[in-house]
Each structure stands twice: as C-alpha cells, then as structure tokens.
A = this chain, B = another copy of it.
Amino acid sequence: MVPVSALQAKAARPAPWLDTIIKGDCVAALENLPDHSVDAIFADPPYNLQLGGVLHRPDQSKVDAVDDAWDQFASFEVYDAFTRAWLLACKRVLKPTGTIWVIGSYHNIFRVGAKMQDLGFWILNDIVWRKTNPMPNFKGRRFQNAHETMIWASPNSETKGYTFNYDAMKAANDDVQMRSDWLFPICSGGERLKDEEGRKVHPTQKPEALLSRIILSSTKPGDVVLDPFFGSGTTGAVAKRLGRHFVGVEREQDYIDAAQARIDAIDPLAADMLKPLPSKKSLPRVAFVSLIESGLLSPGDRLTSPKGDHVALVRADGTLVSGQTAGSIHRLGAQVQGAEACNGWTYWHYEEAGKRHPIDRLRGEIRAATAEI
C-alpha cells in the first residue's frame, strides 16, 4: 500500500508532461496522458489537400503549396481511419467537462465533422475564420477561398459543465453576443516564424489572435490545453501568455525546436490581467430576505411588475403576496405572468422618486457593500 504522504507528494507534483512538447505520433504519444486529464484541445490536423500540378500566379511566380509528406493520404478511407484514431485518443484524455476545437478546410472538415458526430462528440458551434487577406484564386475558376472552418464540440451529448466565458466574449464584442464568424488576418509579418534563410518554418502556422480567442472563450486560467498537432507551437505560445498550461504532440524535430524556442521567449501576462470577467452566476448569492433585514425594503412595501400591471406586497419572511397567492419572488413572478419560470430580481420593481427600479438594484447595493476588491 502506498503511504499517504507519497500520495500527497504525487498529487502535489505537476504531471511531467505539463508544458512540454511530446515528440512522436499523436495517438501513441497521447498514451502518456491519463484519462480525463486536459481541459481543452485545439487540433489542426493535416487537411489532406489534393492538389494537382504546380500552380503559378499570373506573374509566373510559383505558389508555395502545402505538399509536405505529412499531408499525403492514399485515400479517403485512410484519412478517415487516421481521423478516427486521433479523435478517439483525444476523447479519452479530454475531461467530460472539456471541449475540443478542430480546424480544417473544405478538403477535410466535412469528413472530420462527420467522424466526430459518429464518435459521440456533440457539436456546440461551427465557427468560420474569415481571412482578411486570403490568397486569391489565380485561375478565376472558383470563388476566392477566403475562410476556414472550426468545429467546437463537447466530448458527449451531456454537455453540462463546459467552460464558455460568455460575458467576456460579449464584452469583447461591443456588448453584443460574439457571433460564429470571426475576422482575422492570416499569420504573417513578425509573427510568422522564419528560419535563417528567411523561409517559413511551418506552411500552415495559425495566427495567435485566433488561438487567443479560442482559449479566452473556452478555458480558465490554469487550465490545460492540448494540441495534438503542435506544429510551430501557436497553441503553446498563446496558452503560456494567457496563463494556461499546454501539452503539445509533434512528430518533426524541426517544428519542435522552433516551437520550444518560441515558447521559451514568451512572458506570461500578469495574473490580474487574466482575471476572468465574473459571470453573474458566480457573484455571491444574496437572499431576498436580506434586503428586508438590512432595511432596504420593509414588510408591507409595494412591488410591481415592470409595467406596473401586477402588484405584490413584501412580507417579513422574504416572501411576496399578491391577492390569494404568496411565494418567493421568482415563483410569484412566474405565477402572475402565467409563465413557468421568472427571475424575480429583474421582474419585481420598487418605486423611488416616482421612478420604478428592479429590486436587482438593491441586491447590487448589498453586494457592493460586501464586495472583495
């Protein structure tokens, strides 16, 4: 039997694979990770591009296409088997409350998405990355391919408990909900990793802005983000900067070297720059009765619906009464509307200086008086 002290030491010691790049094939390498050990996954698998010959621009320059060995598959069947294998490995290491992001183009994303559904992943959104500066269609035979597609999914249809920083996304988007179409430039300029001869290190390096939104939307500080196709390490770089842990898997030593150097140069942001915008649910709970106890409301006070067409009286025990029926602020609000549910805090209003205000405002006063900094 293992002594308790040893167990405690083990629990306290961080996993050896945390914040490292594991060299090897993604399915084999993931066997080093326990079940349900990562909070989020970003996967940028080979797109299985099926290119014909060499493509030239109108000025005769050659398009530097993705023709690397790792993007070559003999058939759809082979690609599907590959997809199934890495998705299963990812599903095993992903926490039930975690989520996975997969990016692809029309060459592969339909096969990947269908396989994800077959394996029980539950799609939460498909997100379109609209490129500000996509490559033109040189032959003029199709529309300019100006976007890529990401699938955001839960590992099963019991989607309870996954992280979505709704309020942060909304605040970042001028206080309206973040949409499923995102606009970003492709990775270029100083952000693009180059070797000594100025050649790009990786043909499909993803922009940090894209990973930043992904990580900020669906993980919390301290979470572990896995990237099974680590490449040039954008996921690791952004995770480190944003105070998240990363694990990368990559087969090619050149990519590993470049990614490691890149990540080593990253300074994480200060913790107070990463403090998540508190969701309303995470605010301390205030019982309605404490408004009475603190004197903000008194028994017998008159509350109304937003338009004043329903009236209720405050009782000393923190219930409301309206006509023959009494109940909590929520139940009575639902009842007078004939609705199944109601947020009593925003439904019931009190009057002050001739104006109606929701009692949520009084709750805010209590919270402010007891707030931590």
- Which residues of the other chain, B, contact A147 by a CB distance below 8 angstroms? 126, 128, 179-181
**Which chain B residue has the least Cβ–Cβ distance from A110?**
B113
A32 contacts partner chain B, Cβ-Cβ < 8 Å: no
Contact with B along A326-343 (1 / 0, CB 8 A): 000000001001011111
A145 CB–B CB distance under 8 Å? yes
State in angstroms the CA–CA spacing of A178 and B147 once bound together.
12
Report the Cα distance A84→B272, complex, angstroms: 54
Q: Which of B112, B144, B149, B334 contacts A178 (CB 8 A)?
A: B144
Residue of B nearest to A113 (CB): B110
A112→B110 contact, CB < 8 A: yes
Would you call A294 an interface residue if the criterion is a C-beta within 8 Å of the partner chain's C-beta atoms?
no
Q: Is the CB of B58 within 8 A of A343?
A: yes
Residue in B closest to A279 when the chains form the complex, CB atoms:
B140
Number of A residues whose C-beta is below 8 Å from B? 57
Does A20 touch B at the CB level, under 8 Å?
A: no
List of B residues within 8 angstroms of A342 by Cβ = 60
What's the least CB distance linking A119 to chain B, in Å? 11
- Residue A73 at the chain B interface, CB threshold 8 Å: no
C-alpha gap A179/B128 in the complex (Å) = 13
Q: Which A residues are closer than 8 A to B by beta carbons?
A: 56, 58, 60, 76, 105-107, 109-118, 123-128, 130, 134, 136-137, 140-147, 149, 151-152, 164, 166-167, 169-170, 177-181, 217, 334, 337, 339-343, 346
